[in-house]
Amino acid sequence: MIDGYLPYGRQQIEEDDVAAVAAALREPLITDGPGVSAFERAVADYLGARHVVALATGTAALHAAAFAAGVGPGDECVVPAMTFAASANCVLYLGGRPRFADIDPSTRNLDAAAAAGAVSERTRAMVTVSFAGLPAEIEPLRGSGLPVIEDACHALGGIRAGRPVGGPGGADITCFSLHPVKSMTTGEGGLAVTEDDQLARRLRLFRSHGISRDQLHPEPWEGSWYYEMKELGFNYRITDFQCALGRSQLRHLDGWVSRRGELARLYQQLLGGEDRIELPPPAQAGDRHAYHLFVIRILAGREPRRAIFEGLRGAGIGVQVHYIPVYRLPYYRDVLGYPQDECPNTEMLYAGSISLPLFPAMEEADVERVVRELSRLLDEHV
Ligand SMILES: *Cc1c(COP(=O)(O)O)cnc(C)c1O
């Protein structure tokens, strides 16, 4: 059992992870070396995917995905508001404008009808989020014919219709984060995954300044030093020693995701008879929930939620709220002037949500402690 403060999530680092990083630091190249493509191939094998591009962060992966999908100045992208700001910021970075669409309360993922309703002649792509690790349905978003980017930062290790999230049959580009609270980590890091050769080429170009060493047009007097910058890219590279950590972590991923599932089932079981809260929706048959988060909703709404949240924090339980709807963030609300009243299901979830601690090193006694404190606070405040 974890003594003292129980965070909502934290990384799992094993001895073999430490050894893998130490070995990578002794290699001649610690960035831009063969460790990056070795990690990309390992992830591609795991997912059954054609192209995997590893980047500096999950946010960089989303930025690269929006670029690869062709988002530019004046373009719009449909995005759910029940997400981390980065899902929408990637559109702003490119001079585009996110259009927020509501979630389906039964999955907490983007509602396909709401998304279709938010499409205009300016829309360039759909961004969908597999919230908390529940694989988003992609097919219902295909009606518009627009490219679909899945922000799967919560869903590495998840399965949709029998296939890994990020594998074939999913979104046009799937993005993962390798931040320490996610399913596995490289410290900071991200992945962009696609089956499409052209999208993969643009993702790689964007990762490294837009500089290319193929299809070149040198002057006759220019030699083999020659390169071209063809697009305005960034330095979004990840290091070889981070990738060594990633390869090592990947070997543990399935075990950790199933441990998260066991702990989530224990929460479901212990809280099953509690009618003052809504439990998170489980995965459909054929799917596997990655359980990055376990988000309950206090049905009594804002005031009791605040009191219960503060009470849990006071008891040393590191709860969080995922998420403040993106349009409520002052940059969106005040600087960009986003409307505040277009997503009632998002508002309903925000009014009551609390993320309970969930990470693989937790024991059953930790889950029982959280449930005990939660029940006490529900009795006190609802
Ligand atoms: C973590 C996260 C990101 C950003 O990932 P970073 O690796 O921290 O840049 C984006 N979207 C969602 C939904 C996330 O949870």
Taking only the tens place, the pLDDT of each residue in 70-85 is: 999 999 999 999 999 9
**Is 1 a residue whose pLDDT tops 90?**
no
Can you tell me which atom of ligand 1 is nearest the CA of 188?
7
**Is 205 a residue whose pLDDT tops 90?**
yes
Average pLDDT, integer, range 87-111 = 98
Burial class (CB in 10 A: 0-12, 13-18, 19+), 341: exposed
Split at pLDDT 50, 70, 90, the class of 213 is confident
Residues 279-329: pLDDT tens digits? 999 999 999 999 999 999 999 999 999 999 999 999 999 999 999 999 999
Kindly report the protein residue whose alpha carbon is nearest to atom 6 of ligand 1.
Answer: 58
Instruction: Reduce the secondary structure of 281-330 to three states and give it as a string.
Output: CCCCCCCECCCCCEEEEECCCHHHHHHHHHHHHHCCECCECCCCCHHHCH
Q: What percent of the chain stands above pLDDT 70?
A: 100
Q: What percent of the chain stands above pLDDT 90?
A: 97
Q: Which of 266, 246, 370, 227 is nearest to 308 (CA)?
A: 370
d(CA 130, CA 111): 12
How confident is the model at residue 4, as a pLDDT? 86
Q: How many angstroms separate the alpha carbon of residue 193 from the centre of ligand 1?
A: 15
Can you tell me which atom of ligand 1 is nearest the CA of 189?
7
d(CA 137, CA 147): 14
Q: How many angstroms separate the alpha carbon of residue 300 from the centre of ligand 1?
A: 29
**Is 2 a residue whose pLDDT tops 90?**
no
**Candidates 10, 11, 84: which one to mutate for ligand 1, based on the most atoms within 8 Å of Cβ?**
84
Q: How many angstroms separate the alpha carbon of residue 62 from the centre of ligand 1?
A: 9
**Candidates 109, 129, 179, 238: which one to mutate for ligand 1, based on the most atoms within 8 Å of Cβ?**
179
Kindly report the protein residue whose alpha carbon is nearest to atom 2 of ligand 1.
Answer: 153
How many Å separate Cα 285 from the centre of its chain? 22
CB within 6 Å of ligand 1 — which residues? 57-59, 83-84, 86-87, 129, 151, 153-154, 177, 179, 190
d(CA 82, CA 327): 9
Can you tell me which atom of ligand 1 is nearest the CA of 292?
15
Residue with tokens 């396909």: 112
Split at pLDDT 50, 70, 90, the class of 214 is confident
